[in-house]
Chain A
Amino acid sequence: MIHRNIDTGLSSLNQKLLTMAGYVEQAVESATDAWRFRNVAKVADVYQIERRVNQHHLEVDAACVQLLALQQPMAADLRFIVSCIKINNDLERMVDLAVNIANNTEFYLQGAAVIHIDDLAQMSDEVRVMVREVLDAFVKTDERLARRVLSRDDRVDAYKRKIVEDCLESMKADTKVIEQGMNLIFIAKNLERIGDHATNIAEDVIFSVSGQDIRHENKVRTPEEPTT
């Protein structure tokens, strides 16, 4: 196989995106740890990571535009770059959501924990696994792993509905915990959104690898009830 000039650009793009994905994973972990272990230092970590991710967000976009403008990518190359643009956006949104969680956590930590929601810890574990797995799928261009991420999203959604219900119950019972309850609902909502972005990335990985566009296919997922 002959060496192609575009390969250099593609592998450097890949590398940039992977570094960025690693940061996003760290941000999600720090944000959930901050809440779980009541650790304010982790909140600061999230803010710091966000700045780095934003820098990468711009660089990846610029690299994609360069490759599109200068190398006229085709077929697999084109799908890869288009996927990178979308994944880049998802990653940037994910880190923003992690920042939101960090924000909520900051407020949440100002008072003592009154409401106890075990499901939130399990939900954050599930989301962290999703993030890790989808990035693995991207690195290894592993379509099967990406499909597994899709199935995890349903469980995350179920957790969120349950958490919202539980919080509402506590808040109805005791109006003093409304603030704390709201914060917990926000955290769950943000986690759920991170899961959605991970799903998007999984779909992009599948598109990049196989050329198959599976978005909007299984609309038979359990309908979400309107929240917040």
Chain B
Amino acid sequence: MTSAQLQGYLAVGYAKRKFVDRLMRLLLLVAAIVALTPLFSVLFYVLSRGLGNLNWAFFTEVPKPIGESGGGMANALVGTATLVGIASMIGVPWGIAAGVYLSEYGRSRVANMVRFGTDMLASVPSIVIGLFVYALVVVPMGGFSAFAGGVALGIIMVPTIARNTEEMLRLVPNHIREAGLALGLPRWKVILRIVLRGSVSAITTGIMLSIARVAGETAPLLFTAFNNRYWHQGLDQPIASLPVQIFTYAGPPDEVWNGQAWTGALVLLFFVLVLNVTSRVFFRSGSVGRE
């Protein structure tokens, strides 16, 4: 083959490659649009249906009896906050402790079992966790309660926080730990004061995301926190929550209730969105031990 021939072949090949490149780019763009479509349609739909009922009363009043218009979901908002609070008190320390263990001592066989267990727990359907807590807490306590709901949500938080904490701590280069050890610090102090401290923002991000996730959980609350049409009477009593309230109000063919459900969905969606965005901003601004 002469050089001229070779150049000819190469020129043809180049044109073809360029065409394929353009085509692929176009396909990827289409795929990205398709992937984003559901998100935007959900946003749009929830906004259009829920915005109409959004008023001050929604945040300050308890639901009106069926058939009456007006009223709000104040009890459910407080309920969700309470449940998330209880869940965090259980899930955050437990999750972080597990994450630290996995990252810092995670080379043993026990650690591998813990890691496997965490992954299993993360994939257990949330309704099963609800049933588990029903058997473990609700039955012995003799009834549905805010506490039981919090426990269920807390359990769901643990694997997410644990794995996130582990990942974030693993991002801290090993020579940072060695620097601490070389200064004559015991390992636990190195972990607590240097490694964890350096990843606070990243770990917090993980916590916020897991809160955003459990705030929208419905299934595990059905057998644990149940629901309450009024302000709750204590942590050992059933408690209302936004997702369950939406679930309840969306069912019956009642215009007013359905409208309330849409507004509840809008508020919940907004809450989750805010948490996601803040955590992202938080993660970016925080200095993580990245190279």
Direct A–B touching in the complex (beta carbon < 8 Å)?
no
